[in-house]
Each structure stands twice: as C-alpha cells, then as structure tokens.
Structure 1
Amino acid sequence: MTCHRVHVGSRTEEFQELRPLLFSLAYRLLGSVAEAEDAVQEAWLRYETTPTRPRSPKAFLSAVVTRISIDVLRSARVRREQYVGEWLPEPLLTDPYEDPARSAELADSVSMAALLLLERLSPLERAVFVLREVFAFDFADVAAAVGRSEGACRQLLVRARDHVHSGRPRFEVDRQAREVLAARFFDAFRDGDVEGLRDVLAADVQLVGDAGGKAPALARIVVGADKVARLLATAFPRLARLDATLEQCEVNGQPGAMLRDREGKVAYLLALDMVDGRIQTVRSLGNPDKLGHLGPVADAWALRREFINVPRD
C-alpha cells in the first residue's frame, strides 16, 4: 500500500468525514452502540499514530474497525451465552450514515430482525456480509479487512447469504402501511384495547423482553395474539396512572416507542417487527445498560413496585 506523510489537521478532517460510515459499520457488526463507539474511537487512535498516511483512509479505517469488531464479537459470544434471559441488540434511533445508492440495504440491515439474523453468523461471515452486501466494498478491500483471500471471502459470503436469506420473512410491509399499523397498535396499547391489539397482531406474534436481569422484564417470551394482547392491554393504562408517557419514535429503522416515567426518564423501549400486514414481534428493551445513550434512565424496579399497587380496571 502506498503511503505518504500528512498534516495532522487534515487527518482529523478525513476521520471526521468517515466517522458516520465507521460507526454504522461497527454497529452492524456488533449490535451495540457503546461497543461501536469504542471501536471507532480505537480506530482513530490507531489512525492518529500511524506514521504514514494510507493511500485510502476509508479502506484503512474500515479495515481497522472491522478487525476490532471481529475480536469483540469473538469475546462477546461467551458473554451472550451467560446473558440473563433473551438478548437483543442495543437500540439505535438514528443511523448517522446515509448513502442514497445503498439506502435500501442500509435500512434493511439495521432492523432488530436483521441484526438478530446476523447473530447466527460467525464473526468472519458477519464481517464479510456487512462489508460486501450492505456497504458494497469490493472484494479486495473485504479481503484486506478480514485477513483472508478474495476466494475465501466469496465462500464466506455465500454461506452468510444462505443463513440470512433463509431467516428473512417472505412478505414485507411498505413504509406507509407500516406507519398506519404502528399507529393502530399504539392507540390500542394506550387505551388498553384488547380487541384493537388482537386485530393488528399476527396469530403467532411473539412478545420478547430483554432486561438482562437488571430490570423487570415485561415478559421473557409470550406467544400468541390473545396472550400478547391481554398482557399489553393491562400494562399502559395502569402505567398512565403513574404519569408514565409513551413517545412514538423510530427504533432501528422500524416503528417503536419510548416509555418514560413521570420524570421523563427512559424506562423501556418498544420495537415492532411487521410481516404481511400484521405485527409479528414486539420487542421490549429494559436493560438500563442498553438505554443509557438515549438519556437519563428510570429506576424500573421502583416503577414496578408502584405498578403492582395500581388496581386493575
């Protein structure tokens, strides 16, 4: 690789221009905002101390972020096997990287469902898939980033595609229909309307809760439209009596909402997955370690103690 010396100021500017791409790449590799930010920061430290400027700062920094992320993924496997309850990715409200030519791939790859599919891959498969399929890196740069030959990367990509595509739903919901469906869901949720909830849920809908043992989970896993509708219908009307509020927002590019306590602190995040005109999965994130980047976090245990003393209608 041809290198030449460069002024530190211009190197800083180059890095700042690439930071959105590097974060978005690291987040898709790691499923964690905090770990992605750490990987990007470590990449900057390595770039800053490199005596000569790489021919392509983008290729160099992307490779560094990828290698750091692969190392983190390998150690994370053990931690996630020991995780209390269901593990979900750390929520992302806004993706800083935009590329009109890759907008569909970028939007699809950041959803909770897509990130969970990526969890099925080995670290190398995940890296190759994200670099090539999502960000359209050429195979030479992919190979340099993961330290494998181009032929090996092509084989890794074939395996990764098979795993990811076999797990994807066959019928997606377009954006406008998705927003209408989400509005119906959250209206019924606020009102405690069992029938209204049942009408928008898939028959085999799942309610999945991730609290990591650090907060009360709304549920570990509840399956079936009737069970999920009844559980959700009892929740928010009682929380509203405690001055909790529900703020709709986009979570990982999909409809969702933030549940705040009376002080405006974040208690839970809800994310919806939709398939064929129905809500297929409702994901609830309550682990405070995964909510801190969204603002001050509520004491969910204290909220639960108040909640259980609120009479049902």
Structure 2
Amino acid sequence: MSKVEEFEELRPLLFSIAYRILGSVGEAEDAVQETWLRFDGSATRPTSAKAFLSAAVTRISIDVLRSARVRREQYVGPWFPEPLLADPYEDPARSVELADSVSMAALLLLERLSPLERAVFVLREVFGFGYDEIATAVGRSEAACRQLLVRARRHMEAGRPRFAADRQERQELASRFFDALREGDVAGLQELLAADVSMVGDGGGKAPQLARAVVGARNVARLLVAVLPRMARVGVSFEPHEVNCQPGAIFRDRDGRVLYALALEVLDGQVQTIRSVINPDKLGHMGPVADAWALDREVKESRRRPNRAR
C-alpha cells in the first residue's frame, strides 16, 4: 500500500487513541494530522506503520495534554470532555473496553492520571498494546511502563462504580427516561433517578449553565420537567443519541443547530448522573452551533409574555 493508504487504514485507531488521551475531538484530530505530517516527512519507511503511527500520535497527544492541563485548571465551572457521537475504531475482541473507556465517567477518571499514566493505561488496557510497543511510544523502559500502569489502575479502580449496567439495560432505561421527559411526567422521571442523582453542566463561561449541580431525584425531575416546555416554546427539540457510547441526546434550536449534548450515566438500574455540554467550543464538530445566550433570552422573554409567545 502507499503511505496514504496505510495511514487512512489506521486513522480510526489513531483518532481513538488521541481522543482517549486528550478528551477533545478537535485536539485529537489535530494530533492525527500532525502524525500524518511526521509519517509523510519520514525519509525511511517504518517496518510497522501501526507501531510508528501509534507511537507518534501518543507522543504528540502527551505533549498536547501537558499544555492543556494548565487551561483546564483555569476553566470556568466543571470541565467535561467534548462529546463523541461515534467512535471510528472498531475491534470486536475489545468492544467492551472500547465502549467503557470512552464514556464521560471514564474520561473524567482519566483526568486524575498524569499524562504518561494516561497514555500507558489507554494503550495497554483499552487497545491491548504490548509493553515493548508502549515503551517505545512513551519513551520509558518496559519496567517503568509496568509501574505507570499499576499506579494508573489504582487511581481508576478507586473511582469506578462497583456495579455497571449492560448496554441493553442502559438503552431501555434511557428510552423510558426520554419518554417521561417528553410527557412531563415528574413521578415517572423520579422513579428512574437515583436518590442522590446529580445534574451538572459544562458551559465554560461561554454559555448559560446551572450555577451549581442540582442534586436529588425530586429536584432534578422537577427542574427537567419545568425547563423542557419553556425550551420547546422557542423551538428547541431533542433527539436521543448515544453520546460517548452511553445513552444521551442532542438538543437543537428551531433551525437544527446544536444547542447542547446530554449524557446519562446509568448504574444499578437508575440514572446516577446527568451531564450536559453546552460550551459552543466543544460542539462545533457536531454541526452548526446555536446561540445559547440568544435562546436563553428568548426563553426568559416567553416566560414574561406567555400570551405573545403563543
């Protein structure tokens, strides 16, 4: 195959590695593009394109993550990963690991790791790379990589829930959740929510968001049922859609532009966490982005003048 053909065949894997290290679609795409430039500019043809490209995208992603850490420490409000609607890489033998590793909850756990720990964990636990390949990718000895993985596993296991829902259970519960939301059924929603459920938004200071997390089944259910009709009144609609391989939905304005993405974390047969990403900088890869501030003003105006809004 030509260099271009080899690269394009491996592009889904490279993006998936970079996204899990970075938690950003845009930064992952940039890392993949930089990897191509290095591959194309290489005077010699590597024995294994996969090994060369995987190592290159990993090193680039580590460097980007180190600089991104400073920005994330200064971020306004909670920081969430950029929503991913479809993982381009598929491996039937590792489908569970791939899906679990890209969830919002897992990516937030990965934020606890150092860049090197994160890279080693992703390469070994998610993609099954050998320690020799990982050592080459991160520039450490195999023994050092094993130690990095031990530390990474310890951090990840400490934050993981003890019981996880299977995919069918998640989908069935999500279907009931969105049906209840459409119908404005507070009691029905409340039954699906964990007692200590939390609803959190990521606007990054660039879009209207909750001042703080809303906690408790009753509070969350009542807020959701109260807010949705107001948004529908100004043309906002939603469509259920997997977000980061978990149940979720995409909310759009009357012109079909993306307003925000919502992801549900389902455990033990209940919704444990509801996360919404409304920062416009994190939505552009999903299509044209709505003006959230303008919609917020329109919603407030419709509340003040309900008759005129009709």
TM-score normalised according to structure 2 size:
0.96
Contact 1:112 1:252 in 2 (8 A): yes
Q: After the TM superposition, which of the residue ranges 213-222 and 9-18 deviates more from structure 2?
A: 213-222
Per the alignment, residue 274 of structure 2 pairs with 282
Offset at residue 30 of structure 1 (A): 0.3
CA RMSD of aligned residues (A): 1.3
Q: Alpha-carbon deviations, 1:40-73, whole Å to 9, x = none?
A: 0000000000000111111111111111111111
Q: Helix, strand or coil: the match of 1:306?
A: helix
Hey, what does 1:160 align to over in structure 2? 152
**Structure 2 Cα separation of the partners of residues 198 and 44 of structure 1:** 49
Q: 2:88 aligns with which of 77, 96, 117?
A: 96
Gaps of 5+ in 2: none
CA contact (8 A) 1:208 1:219 kept: no
CA distance in 1, matches of 2:264, 2:120: 28
- 1:228-253 Cα deviation digits (max 9, x unpaired): 11111111111111121111100000
Amino acid at match of 1:220: R
Q: Kindly, what percent of the aligned residue pairs are identical?
A: 72
**Residue number in structure 1 paired with 2:105:** 113
Asked whether the equivalents of residues 259 and 267 of structure 1 are also in contact (C-alpha less than 8 Å), the reply is: yes
1:35 counterpart = 2:27: yes
The answer to whether 1:145 aligns with 2:137 is yes
1:60 corresponds, among 43, 52, 57, to 52
SS across alignment from 2:241: strand
CA distance in 1, matches of 2:212, 2:202: 7
Letter in 2 for 1:86: P
Contact 1:244 1:260 in 2 (8 A): yes
Moved more, 191-200 or 98-107: 191-200
- Residue in structure 2 matched with residue 306 of structure 1 by the alignment: 298
Distance 2:302 2:166 in 1: 39
Task: State the AA in 1 paired with 2:64.
Answer: V
Work out which of the residue numbers 100, 121, 131 in structure 2 matches 1:129: 121
Unaligned ranges ≥5, structure 1: 1-8
Please state if 1:242 is matched with 2:234: yes
Aligned with 1:206: secondary structure?
strand
1:215 aligns with 2:194: no
Aligned to 2:284: 292
